[in-house]
Amino acid sequence: MNNLVIPSLQQIDQASARFLEITGDHRKFAFTGAMGSGKTTLITAICRQLGVVNRVTSPSFALINEYRTRSGEVIFHFDFYRIKSIEEAFDLGYEEYFYSDAWCFIEWAEKAAEILPDDFVRVNIEVLPDNTRRVSVLL
């Protein structure tokens, strides 16, 4: 397991660059963490590092957003906070996304744990008492 500490929002870009170094060639990420821990913020910064040209926003209501990088790569950003059952993930056609070559970032991944392929990198964000974030990456 790799740990990354983000002292403040001012270091988010450096942290996202380091995250991509740590994770290497991996393209599938399952994020967990408490509400307000910074999942969307970190994913937004990672998308900036990857060269996303679209505005990155939380897909809370749509459940999934699609972004493109300057080089044309596709990134899928999921937010499973509002799903009430795993059937909703099935209705999305999750396999098309999870088993593609595209980048995938899932927030609230614990709600879909039973359908996540083994190649997803598990990422947990924890807010520490001093308000820094500890990002634990399990490759």
Inform me whether the pLDDT recorded for 4 exceeds 80: yes
What domain range includes position 97? 2-138
Tens of pLDDT, residues 25-81: 999 999 999 999 999 999 999 999 999 998 898 887 778 999 999 999 999 999 999
CATH number for position 90: 3.40.50.300
CA 58 to chain centre: 10
Positive or negative, the Cα torsion across 9, 52, 66, 109? negative
Domain count, the chain: 1
Q: Secondary structure of the chain: what % helix, strand, coil (to 5)?
A: 35, 30, 35
Average pLDDT over residues 85-113: 93
Q: What is the pTM of this model?
A: 0.95
Element (H, E) at 41: helix 39-50
